Structures are given as C-alpha cells and as structure tokens.
Amino acid sequence: MFHYICCMSMNLKVEIDPRSGFCFGVVKAIKRALEILRAEGKLYCLGQIVHNDEEVKRLQDLGMITLTHDEIANIYGQKVLIRAHGEPPETYELLRKNGNEILDATCPIVLKLQGRIKQSELDGDFILIYGKANHPEVVGLMGHLNGQGVVFSNFEDLDLASLPDRVTLYSQTTMSIEKLYAVRQKLEDSGIRVLLKDTICRQVSGRKEEMQEFCRKHDVVIFISGVESSNGKVLFESCLEVNPRSYKISGISEIDSNWFRECRSVGICGATSTPMWQMEQAMQMIKSL
C-alpha cells in the first residue's frame, strides 16, 4: 500500500514520495520481528535488522536485542532472527548447534541469488561479484561459495592479469544497474568473455526513474537514509542527478532551515530501508519551520 501525503506550510508545499519506503524484503523481516516482539517481548536479531538507526531503536525499545557475529557464539536456546541480507551457512550451523531457533527472514530475492551462485560454483564458473566485500549480503554470498569468488566494488581494483578469459559476473542486489553494465563492458573491452547474471533487485533499480520524476517536481529534495544503506547511496545519486538541491539525512535533527530559502516545494523520499513514519516526521518538522 502506498502512502501519499502532501501539506502546505505558509507557501511551502511538502510532499512525500508515495513510492519510497520499505521494500517487501524489509517489510517481511520487520513484520516477522514485530509478531515475536508483541507476543514475547524479546527477540535476538543478528546484525541491524535494517540499515536505519531510528527504526532499529524503535524495535529495540520493543525488546529487540541486536547481536554482533562475535556475540552469537554465546547465545543458547533463544529465538534469533536472520535479517533480509541473509547469512553464510556457518551462521546457521552455529546457531543450531547452540540450540537456538532460527527465524529466517532472508529476502526471497537474496535466497534465489545464493542458490544461483552456488550452482554456478558447482558448474565450475569463475565467479566475480560486483559489490562491497564487507556488506552482509556479500559476506553471506561468499560463505555459500566457501570464499571462492572475487569481490570488487571498483573495476580499477580488479587484477585483470589474474582473471581467466571467461568469467561469470554477479552483483550484490543493491548496486547501481548502470555501473554493473559498465563493468561488464570494461571487462569485455579487456578481452574477457563475461556471462552476466544481472542480480540487481528491481525494488532498487526500478525506483530510479520514478524517484527522478518526483525530484524534478520539487525545488528541494530531502532524502532520508541510514548511513550504511547501499541502496540509499545509489538512490540518492539518482536524486542529485536531476535535482542539485537534494540533501541526504539520516534523521530529522539534520534538517537545516537554510535549505528552504527561495523554495516553494519540498519533496521527501528515501531508501528501501527508510520507514514511512520517518518521512512523515520530516514533513512535520519542515512544516513547523
């Protein structure tokens, strides 16, 4: 369900992008967490459930306890949620060994990617993953490959001399689709044959055009996203491409009234990990300026 909210403060029109907000993978993970929290008042989650500090805090206030990977070795007999990014197989093994109940909220798109990449490895492919080595989704993927793939986030970081003449190219789901295709082109220009498996999530790339249309309509754009959110970085670049008066914030305390000088309309949008309530909060804040 899309929310559409628009208000006028003095002569300032403020509108929330109806297509911004949680993707279905995040909705599913948070719904699962809330079911347990409402019933039991306590739930462990491995890593931040979503790359948004304020939403994490809201859930922590309801009883969610966020664990680091180092901490799970000491957790026994608990309910532990695996977030949408997924995990490597050893995480499941360790949690089960310690008698924990796993609530697996890995996004179906990530699960499919894990399956495809594993099959690719069994087929003997040389696997490249375009993504960030320390991103939890990529850590999970590498776990399914027993560390056999090569991860890179910049073409320039690749050691071309060490690559075979044929590679299979995958991507972290939240990378820029244009950059993925540019990487393929550069590899091919270097004489390497590329079998591209376009595994970019359309919940991110599909938003670009509509978000840009939204940003063009407004004098100023406020984009809300957690600092760690990959799709937040990609989508914010899309805003800036069409509206140089776009500002990225992670919370409403960062809003600066100077941004709204000679401004008649403000658009508020966000990443797939940005809750609607946070965009509504920003709207109220701007209204009150």
Nearer to ligand SF4, 14 or 200 (CB): 200
- Min CB(281)–ligand SF4 separation in Å: 22
By CB under 6 A, is residue 84 in contact with ligand SF4? yes
CB-nearer residue toward ligand SF4: 230 or 250? 230
Q: How many CB atoms lie within 10 A of CB 49?
A: 26
Query: In this chain, which of 2, 7, 24, 99 binds ligand SF4, going by CB under 6 A?
Result: 24
272 binds ligand SF4 (CB under 6 A): yes
Tokens of 69: 């990977």
Question: Which x/- pattern over 161-180 shows residues binding ligand SF4 (rule: CB under 6 A)?
Answer: ------------xx------
CA pair distance 267, 270, nearest whole angstrom: 10
Q: What is the distance of C-alpha 220 from the center of its chain?
A: 24
Single out the segment in contact with ligand SF4 by CB under 6 A; choices: 105-113, 212-220, 235-243, 259-267: 105-113
Query: Could you tell me which of 86, 80, 155 has the C-alpha nearest to residue 116?
Result: 86
The one segment of 4-12, 19-27, 31-39, 52-60 that binds ligand SF4 by CB under 6 A: 19-27
* Between 96 and 202, CB nearer to ligand SF4: 202
Reading across the β-sheet that carries 12-16, which strands appear in turn?
A: 6-9, 12-16, 265-270, 220-224, 246-249
- Report CA torsion sign: 237, 253, 56, 46: positive
Residues 178-237 that bind ligand SF4 (CB under 6 A): 201, 203-204, 231
Closer of 120 and 173 to ligand SF4 (Cβ): 173
Q: Which residue is nearest to ligand SF4 (CB)?
A: 25
109 touches ligand SF4 by CB under 6 A: yes
Q: At what angle do helices 53-61 and 24-40 cross, to 10 degrees?
A: 20
SS3 6: strand
Q: HEC string of 67-78?
A: ECCCHHHHCCCC
CB of 282 closer than 8 Å to CB of 252: yes
Neighbour-count burial for 64-80, b at 16+ CB within 10 Å, e otherwise: bebbeeeebeebeebeb
Indicate whether 246 belongs to the interface with ligand SF4 (CB under 6 A).
no
- Catalytic residue chosen out of the listed positions 15, 71, 137, 209: 137
8-state DSSP, 128: E
Q: Which of 149/232 has CB closer to ligand SF4? A: 232
* Annotation says 137 is catalytic: yes
Chain contacts with ligand SF4 (rule: CB under 6 A): 23-26, 84, 107, 109-110, 173-174, 201, 203-204, 231, 272
Catalytic residues: 137
